Amino acid sequence: MTARLKGAVIGCGFFAQNHLHGWADLDDVEIVAVCDVDESKAKLAAEKFGIARVYTSAEAMLATEALDFVDIPTTMETHEALTALAFAHGVPVILQKPFAPDLDGCKRMVAAAAAANVPLMIHEDFRFQNLFRTVREILDSGELGRLTFGRLSWRTGIDVYSNQPYLVHVKRFMIMDVGIHLLDLARFLFGEANGVFCRTQQIKEGIAGEDAATILLSHEQGATSILDFSYATKREPDPFPQTLGEIEGTEGTLIIGADRVLTVHGKDGTRRIAVPHDDRSWTSEPWTQIQDSVVHTQRHFVDSLRRGVEPDTSGRDSLATYALLEAAYLSAARGTLIHPDRLG
C-alpha cells in the first residue's frame, strides 16, 4: 500500500462536504478524484478542496483511476450499484449510512464484498464522537459495574427538511435516519440485543414516514435500553444534534448531559467530565461533534485498511444493527416484541 492512500469521493452533496474536509485533515490520504452525476457539484468540490480530476460517472472514474479506496456519501438507494462497481475493480469502500433500504439489501452487499474479497465499512459516526469514546472508556474501567439500564435520547425540532429535502418522501424515515445511529450506539455500549419492541409516530403532517419513535431493547448481557428520538420536539434550547441519556450499572450511574457534560455517580462520589471538541478550523456549531466524528470514522477506516483488519462498523458487523432496525419496523407494524435473530 502506498505511503499516501489515494481515494475518491462519489457524491458531493450536503454531507459530503464534511467528508471532503475530513479527508483533507488526514495527512496520509490524498483524494485524487471526485464524482457526482451533477457535474456542478463535483466541480465545486474539486475547486474547493484542490482535487485533480472530476467525473460524472462512477464507472468511468473506477475504470480510469488507480484507487486505494472510494468513499460513497450518497443516499442509500444508490449504494448497491455503486458498491458493485467498486468491488468489480477490487477497490475498498467506506459507505455512508443508511447502508441499504432493507436488511436484504445489506446482506447482498456484504456477500458481494466477501465474494470480491474487498473491505466494506459503513460510515456510522455516532460511536466515533469524542463523547461516546469517553463513555466507552468509563464503561471499560468497570466503574459502573454490570450494566442494567440505558437510555439514549435524541430529540429536536430543527428543520431537517431544508438540508435534506428527500426525507419528506421516505417511508422509513426516523428509524432509518437517526434511529440507526442509536441502534449502533446501543450495541457499542450495551452489547448485542435479542429483543426489540418499537412504537413509531408521525407527528408532522405531509411527510411519508415516521418522525418519532421509541425502541426498547433487551440486551444479551442483561441490560435494558430505551432509545427515543424525534424530529418533532419543540424545545428551547434545542439540543440538536446531541444524544442525551443515562447509563445505570450495579455500582453507579452515568448521566449524558447537555453540551457534552458527563456526570459519573460512582462508589467514590460524583465527578463531572466536560468532553471537548477537536478544535478543527472548518467545523461549526451545532454540527461540531458530528463533524469531528466524521474524521475519526475516516481515520479508523484508513487504519483498518493499513493494518489489514476488519473495521468496527464493517458491512458484516453492521448486519446486526440493520437486523435491529428491521425488527423495530416489524415490531411497530405488529405491536409485538420481535427477536431479530428469528427474522430469517
The gap from C-alpha 96 to its chain's centroid, in whole angstroms, comes to: 7
Choices 132-140, 176-184, 194-202, 277-285; region in contact with ligand 89V by CB under 6 A? 176-184
Binding to ligand NAD (CB under 6 A) within 255-294 occurs at 290
Residues whose CB falls within 8 Å of the CB of residue 339, separated by 6 or more in sequence, listed in order: 194, 195, 196, 327
- CA distance to 27, 131, 190, 222, per residue, from 254 (Å): 36, 12, 13, 17
**214 vs 289, beta carbon nearer ligand NAD:** 289
CB 99 within 8 A of CB 127: no
Residue 178 interaction partner, one of ligand 89V, ligand NAD, none, beta carbon < 5-8 Å per kind:
ligand 89V
The least CB distance from residue 76 to ligand NAD, in Å, is 5
- Using the rule CB under 6 A, is 37 a contact of ligand NAD? yes
User: In angstroms, rounded to a whole number, what is the distance separating the alpha carbons of residues 182 and 259?
Assistant: 18
Candidate segments 1-9, 10-18, 315-323, 329-337, binder of ligand NAD by CB under 6 A: 10-18
177 scored as a contact of ligand 89V (CB under 6 A)? yes
> Measured from the CB atom, is 217 or 290 closer to ligand NAD?
290
Helix axis angle for 315-334 and 103-116, nearest 10°, is 170
Collapse the DSSP code of 11 into the 3-class scheme (helix H, G, I; strand E, B; otherwise coil) and give the result: coil
Q: For residue 178, state whether it binds ligand 89V (rule: CB under 6 A).
A: yes
The answer to whether 12 contacts ligand NAD (rule: CB under 6 A) is yes
* Distance (Å, whole) CA 39 – CA 44: 8
Task: State yes or no: residue 78 binds ligand NAD (CB under 6 A).
Answer: yes
Q: Which does 14 bind (CB under 5 to 8 A by kind): ligand 89V, ligand NAD, none?
A: ligand NAD
Q: Is the dihedral of CA 150, 94, 40, 48 positive or negative?
A: positive
Give the integer Cα–Cα distance in Å for 42 and 65. Answer: 16
- Cβ 15 to ligand NAD, closest distance in Å? 4
290 binds ligand 89V (CB under 6 A): yes
Residue among 298, 332, 333, 304 nearest 316 (CA): 304
What is the binding site for ligand 89V (CB under 6 A)?
160, 177-178, 181, 241, 290
What is the binding site for ligand NAD (CB under 6 A)?
10-16, 35-38, 41, 58, 73-76, 78, 82, 96-98, 125, 164, 177, 290
